[in-house]
Structure 1
Amino acid sequence: MKEILLSVIIPTYNVEKYLPACLGSLKEQDFQAYEVICVDDGSADSTVSLLRDYAAGWEKMKVCTQPHSGPGAARNLGLSKARGRYICFMDSDDMLSPGSLSFMAETMEREQLDILAFGAEVLFENERLERERYREVQGFSYRKAYGTYAKGSELFRELVALSDFIPSACLMCFRHNLLKEHNIFFPTRLRCEDEVFCINAWLEAGKAMHTDKKLYQRRVRDGSLMVTAASFDYFREGAAAWRDIMEILGRTDDEAVRSALRAHLYRRAQEMHKRFEAMPGEEQDKLQELPPMEAAYNRLLLEIAPVFRRVSANYIFPWHLFKKGERVIIYGAGNVGKDFARQLQEYSYVTLTGAVDRAGPNARIPGVEVRYPKDLQTMDCDAILLSVQDKKLADSIKADLQKLGIDEAKIRWDGPHYLQKDFYEGYYFPKISERK
């Protein structure tokens, strides 16, 4: 085989249904100087036999196996076997877009990069998942193309400042020597293993680049690890990642990087608190079963998360869209909607009369009842604020509301300017006297 420029590392676990599409997307690439390292993580189905069948007729592919230890351990084993100058990762139920490998290798070579970051197209396995998990589209797409930075830490700071940091190793290509020289490996957890790995890589990287090309295809399906995000195990491993990032913060001297890490920690603490609150009682009770020190640490995280929420609003309510005294309903109970609700609860300039979300009461905003969008037909208000940033999503919501008979004049949206950093000149806040 000729020189290997790019190693593609894929952990596999009980994915017999999805493996042909994943490997097929690699075999169809128009690039040849690559290898594929599949590490099976103790599959109980026919995944291993499928892998060996593919490898028998494909010289680019190598298969390794390990007892079930999680994707972090599997990726580490793949890294130890990799020979490429550059490294990229895939999940075994996902795919690569045509031409992705050639774009990665050529861009890394031409620009002499340590890291190349890119986006993903999200593919829902069925309509139910698209309804229930539609927000994942935003979770794998960046707001803009960020371009090239002299240091990875500078790009990391910019991503965090714009709430655009996506901790997925599958959305990056790495210079292999960067990982070797700084001993960067994945934590050996079943979940939340990407976050610490990606942060360590960003902070150690030299030249880094982000492109708005969607080189990856992310499959949203039933049965994946992310479906278990409401379980206590997910919370526990997310809390462990939070502690790991705290350790990174403790050994970082650059104050600008420290500020970005603190902002990320604030947001992650709020997310873990939200996940814990959404668990059934029997899942929450598992906190009592942890070793005493770990249980105490996790309780502390849950106690301080609401404090972070109060001091870290990322989205500014668009006061300029409203007249004083208007009654407002928020559409969307995500981070944007929660920030808006907190600000409206502090001021009397306009009145928050309710909130709606496609998830209905399953979505939560503290102190506000969340209902389904169809309930807008009977809810009295002067305006409905779309608390989403993506224009396509906002347009889709507007169309749905008009089908419900909602007056278009009531619908307000200014998504591109919601972010605190992006809010354009001339915005204003209600007077201090109008604070509640």
Structure 2
Amino acid sequence: MSSIKISVIVPIYRIEKYLAQCIESLLEQSFKDFELILVDDGSPDNCPQICDDYAKNDNRIKVIHKPNGGLLSARKAGLEAASGTHIAYVDGDDWVDHFYLDTLYKLAIANDADLAVTGHFREFDGKIETVKPKNPGFYDETKIKSEILPKAIYNGEFCEHGMSTYVWNKLFKKELLEKVLYDVPNDVVMGEDAAIVYSYLAFTKRLAISKIPLYYYRQRHDSIVKSVENPKTEYYRLGLLMNFLKTKLSNVLDEENLDTQITFYLYSQILVRSGGLIYNEKNDTWFNPFLKAEKDSKVVVYSSGSFGQHILSTNLKTDYFKIVKWIDVDYHDLKIGKNTVNPISSIYNDEFDYLIIATINPSTHKSLKEELELMGINQSKIVKTNTDEAKINSLLTDIGFDENFIFNQNN
């Protein structure tokens, strides 16, 4: 009988710079009863050779070489080859704590949990932030249905998840994951992890959530700045995810709650990817979600993360705002157009009309607003994001989404 308790699956594509650190952190785990499945998803760099070299020296490693099919297909290929009773996913450009598997497995076994969840670290440009779940504890089936699922995608604060979308800070039961993963269409290429996690949650009867951070998530500059290739293509892809979630969760949530959760999730994703401004082709107008900040306002953008970068990039094309400064508490050597990132101490109230905090996370927004207030920034100049559900629904309809969140590309 196999002693393998956990199969760790690592999808790999064009990450040779980071792969060795990832593999080493897994091979050095305190927990020993696991196998490591490296899925080379047709990577064109040196990743295939790195995988093979490690496999020659450690019999716990299986390597799968496959044509490029995307992240979801790599996750599926790894699951098909897995021998463990439990499944952990690790992204090949990240790394894990020495007790990552040990802690996850004990959480799962001690609570007979179908799903074990932990905290994580976010590493960005050498700085590390600790992220902990806000709802730690044990949940049985009744509590999952009454407390977790109704707030999993959208917890009532725009736009914050009650359950994180990531697969990598979780431990799944293989027998349950097999019921879920293969049903996710491979053409879901935006929000693949959310499709897995939330549909798996619908099957979960026992859940254990721990605050302990064990996973190091690397936020890379080169993975953030991606131009929006075509808004309609992105809307279509987001629609595939949202429609899948509606279909899979319709049996465990009432329709009104489910539609509200998905509506805010979809809106938040469109906001981030569009850089805030959303073009309404039906009315030939721009939907500006930043309340009070009108066209040609002198604006400061706070955050050099994904949303902030997209705001700068979008404004280059639209010239909607006059962006006078780009700031961040963790400022980096970045430049978009004529704007480079500056420290928050570099701004003064008289040089701008409004300040946009580029985050869709309300907790982050609140803490950054407090920091700015301590620096003497006028709080009335910090804009809020439009979260009027009726207006959001109207916008989604105008740009082509139907009641099932399917996007009509011919709209």
Q: Would you call these one fold, judging by a TM-score over 0.5?
A: yes
1:175 positional shift: 0.9
Separation of aligned partners in 2, 1:232 and 1:384 = 24
Q: 2:149 is matched with which residue?
A: 156
1:194 positional shift: 1.5
Q: 1:18 is matched with which residue?
A: 18
1:269 positional shift: 2.8
Classify the secondary structure of the residue corresponding to 1:123: strand
Deviations 1:12-62 (A, max 9, x none): 112221111001111121000111101101112221111111111111110
Match of 1:243 among 240, 250, 256: 240
**Is 2:351 the partner of 1:357?**
no
Match of 1:171 among 169, 172, 175: 169
Classify the secondary structure of the residue corresponding to 1:170: coil
1:181 positional shift: 4.0
Q: 1:201 is matched with which residue?
A: 200
Deviations 1:259-299 (A, max 9, x none): 44323322233234335644999xx9xxxxxxxxxxxxx97
1:239 positional shift: 3.4
Separation of aligned partners in 2, 1:197 and 1:81 = 18
Classify the secondary structure of the residue corresponding to 2:367: helix
Deviations 1:167-202 (A, max 9, x none): 211122111111224564543245432121122111
Q: 2:270 is matched with which residue?
A: 273
- Letter aligned with residue 302 of structure 2: D
- Letter aligned with residue 80 of structure 1: E
Q: Where in structure 2 are there 5+ consecutive unaligned residues?
A: 326-343, 381-386, 389-411
Change over 3 Å in CA distance of 1:243–1:382 after alignment to 2: closer
Q: 1:288 is matched with which residue?
A: none
**Is 2:35 the partner of 1:35?**
yes
The answer to whether the 8 A contact 1:6-1:35 is kept is yes
Change over 3 Å in CA distance of 1:397–1:51 after alignment to 2: farther
How many residue pairs get matched? 344
Classify the secondary structure of the residue corresponding to 1:18: helix
The answer to whether the 8 A contact 1:363-1:370 is kept is no
1:249 positional shift: 2.0
Q: 2:112 is matched with which residue?
A: 112
The 5 Å alignment of 1:330-369 reads 342=291, 356-358=301-303, 362=312
Deviations 1:179-233 (A, max 9, x none): 2245645432454321211221111211112221212101122433x543x3326
Separation of aligned partners in 2, 1:368 and 1:148 = 47
Larger radius of gyration: 1
The 5 Å alignment of 1:209-220 reads 209-220=208-219
Classify the secondary structure of the residue corresponding to 1:204: coil
Identity, in percent, stands at: 20
1:234 positional shift: 8.8
Classify the secondary structure of the residue corresponding to 1:29: coil
Deviations 1:71-122 (A, max 9, x none): 1101101000111111110110101112010011111111011111222211
The answer to whether the 8 A contact 1:123-1:217 is kept is yes
More strand as a share of residues: 2
Classify the secondary structure of the residue corresponding to 1:205: coil
Separation of aligned partners in 2, 1:234 and 1:11 = 27
Q: 2:220 is matched with which residue?
A: 221
Change over 3 Å in CA distance of 1:19–1:396 after alignment to 2: farther
Classify the secondary structure of the residue corresponding to 1:218: strand
Separation of aligned partners in 1, 2:376 and 2:222 = 40
1:245 positional shift: 2.8
- Letter aligned with residue 249 of structure 1: K
Deviations 1:380-436 (A, max 9, x none): 8999999875579937973x776xxx448x569xxxxxx99xxxxxxxxxxxxxxxx
Deviates more, 1:68-77 or 1:174-183: 174-183
- Letter aligned with residue 46 of structure 1: N
Q: Where in structure 1 are there 5+ consecutive unaligned residues?
A: 285-297, 310-337, 346-351, 413-418, 421-436
- Letter aligned with residue 239 of structure 1: Y
Q: 1:314 is matched with which residue?
A: none
* TM-score with structure 2 setting the length: 0.68
Classify the secondary structure of the residue corresponding to 2:131: coil
Q: 1:378 is matched with which residue?
A: 350
More helix as a share of residues: 1
Classify the secondary structure of the residue corresponding to 1:32: coil
1:125 positional shift: 3.6
1:362 positional shift: 1.7
Q: 2:76 is matched with which residue?
A: 76
Q: 1:312 is matched with which residue?
A: none
